[in-house]
Structure 1
Amino acid sequence: LCMLHGIEPGIYWHMGKIVECGANCAEPKGKVILATIRRDSFDLEPMNPRERCTPASVAAHTLYEKTRPDLLTGPGGVLDLREATYEQLTERAVRVRGSRFIPADDYTVKLEGAGVVGMRTIFIGGIRDPILVEQIDTFLEGIKQQAHETYPELRSGEATLNFHVYGKNGVMGSFEPQTQAVPHEIGLLGEVTAANQELANAICSSVRIDVLHTPYPGQVATAGNFAIPLNPPENPIGPVCKFTVYHVMKIDSAESLFPVEIVEVGA
């Protein structure tokens, strides 16, 4: 419809990127959004009178799951938001201008597919001993080495063991910028993936016991260094999936895979 009425491609692409998530671009986030589109701009206003759009809330939506918030690659080209502007039109509405669509030389579409790669078991607990918290990285590396010595499946790659240290870098991992901060406590999630649930359970149980009882430099207590909130302490959570197809495919035209059929109805 936008193409039929001569709307700039960058305008309707940008609008579509936002309104597909409803009123997530509002403050507070809501469900239903009204978009009014023009040839070179579009307006956004939430339907709930307790919500409002602001330039910041609308612009922030492009940060959602994007490698770059200013250049968004899609089928047939790139949505360029480097010159986009966000104007507070009314107390609750925002007008967006300046979005451009840059056609690509080749039309491409992304293909995605997933498959089961194993079974997973986890354990979770907390560590508050400051002596252990301060050396948690070297401690967990030692736990991994012990597990690899015990289970040949870990050495061969048939099984995997991962730790997520919440309170330190559990969210961002190696990208965490605050590398010197020492928390007063941490939450530890241990994750084991193996070819079958029984093996995942066995490795996970062994690793959890090692976390609980392995000594470390400066240790004062002999046990009880790992607080486990759940019983049973190991929890099998079933199949693990990963992308088995994640590919950009070049095609001759959009219609070759996604044909458009127009049917006129009525008298």
Structure 2
Amino acid sequence: MPAGPSWHAAKIIECGGQCTTDPRSGGVLATIDANGFSIEPLATTAACTPNLVAAHMLYETADPFRMREPDGTLDVSDAMYTAVDETTVRVEGSRFHVADQHTIKLEGARITGHETMSFTGIRDPHILSAIDDWAALLRTMIQQRVEQTIGLTDDQYAFDVRLYGYNAVLGDLDPAQGAPREVGVMLLVNAPDQATATAVAKIANPLMLHLPTPDMNYLPSLAFATSPAEIERGPAYEFVLHHVVDSRTPTDMFRIEFEEATRRD
């Protein structure tokens, strides 16, 4: 069958019922022919719709119309999605552009250090009304106390303060409007070894529990999620290789070993 419909159908059915009205219902059946493909759910309680089938190209792709593969690119910019009946969708117009050069994606990761995390919750309305200022003060105080207590400078460790319930997920992409009712504060420390990461988190412990804003005339008590407050996460990793490599053949970069087994009756 043509590569365009075959690749497009494969992209959709790899997630099973995600393109149906009941994603938990099970798999789907795709029938590919020379002009396109039809797709329908296996469950009698679910249905495929043009919108749901088309929307699956938004999933795990950088471009909703083009998906690059080692030997070419799936192009669905001219694809048409039509309801055949109440449960089946017909897709035509998918194309596959064969690449001039076969490529392989090369990825690699390395250990960046060891992490320790602590998490506290804030419900104090005064702190929440100025949560950005409080978080900035927390960062400054942690840096100062770490240097005073164990002599570490900024280049010897790293930490991040994430405000869940306020901006931890999208950050500045979604500016906060008004004070939230409660915020979870996650402190994530990264250091060359686990003991140092935990030591930094322990120094931050009283700040995560009782840090007031400069204008407060009382000492707040916040709420740690765990006891002990420090959770050692072990080694942390980051991507260091994310490249496209030219390959003479699809298997050129991969070592293949064959072993011949002899059956003994």
Task: Verify same fold: TM over 0.5.
Answer: yes
Q: Distance in 2 between matches of 1:219 and 1:51?
A: 57
The RMSD of aligned alpha carbons is 2.4
Residue equivalent to 2:259:
none
Residue equivalent to 1:137:
132
Residue equivalent to 1:231:
227
Q: Say if 1:168 and 1:181, in contact at 8 Å, map to a contact too.
A: no
Q: Say if 2:212 and 2:218, in contact at 8 Å, map to a contact too.
A: no
Q: Say if 1:147 and 1:154, in contact at 8 Å, map to a contact too.
A: no
Q: Distance in 2 between matches of 1:207 and 1:105?
A: 55
Equivalences for 1:77-156 in 2 at 5 Å?
A: 77-149=72-144, 150-151=146-147, 153=152, 155-156=154-155
Q: Say if 1:123 and 1:233, in contact at 8 Å, map to a contact too.
A: yes
Q: Say if 1:119 and 1:194, in contact at 8 Å, map to a contact too.
A: yes
Q: Distance in 2 between matches of 1:199 and 1:43?
A: 58
Q: Distance in 2 between matches of 1:214 and 1:249?
A: 51
Q: Which runs of 5+ in 2 are unaligned?
A: 256-265
The one-letter code of the counterpart of 1:204 is A
Residue equivalent to 2:186:
189
Q: Say if 2:20 and 2:52, in contact at 8 Å, map to a contact too.
A: yes
Q: Distance in 2 between matches of 1:128 and 1:255?
A: 57
The one-letter code of the counterpart of 1:188 is V
Give the SS at the match of 2:239: strand
Equivalences for 1:1-267 in 2 at 5 Å?
A: 7-30=1-24, 31-149=26-144, 150-151=146-147, 153=152, 155-156=154-155, 158-176=156-174, 178-224=175-221, 226-257=222-253
Q: Say if 2:120 and 2:209, in contact at 8 Å, map to a contact too.
A: no
Identical columns (%)? 34
Residue equivalent to 1:3:
none
Give the SS at the match of 2:224: coil
Task: Calculate the TM-score normalised by the size of structure 1.
Answer: 0.84
Report the Cα offset of residue 166 of structure 1: 1.6
Report the Cα offset of residue 90 of structure 1: 2.2
Do the aligned partners of residues 188 and 85 (structure 1) sit closer, same or farther apart at CA in structure 2, a change above 3 Å counting? farther
Give the SS at the match of 1:59: helix
Do the aligned partners of residues 166 and 22 (structure 1) sit closer, same or farther apart at CA in structure 2, a change above 3 Å counting? same
Task: Calculate the TM-score normalised by the size of structure 2.
Answer: 0.84
Q: Say if 2:163 and 2:184, in contact at 8 Å, map to a contact too.
A: yes
Report the Cα offset of residue 235 of structure 1: 1.1
Q: Distance in 1 between matches of 2:212 and 2:9?
A: 57
Do the aligned partners of residues 26 and 153 (structure 1) sit closer, same or farther apart at CA in structure 2, a change above 3 Å counting? farther
The one-letter code of the counterpart of 2:169 is V
Report the Cα offset of residue 212 of structure 1: 2.2
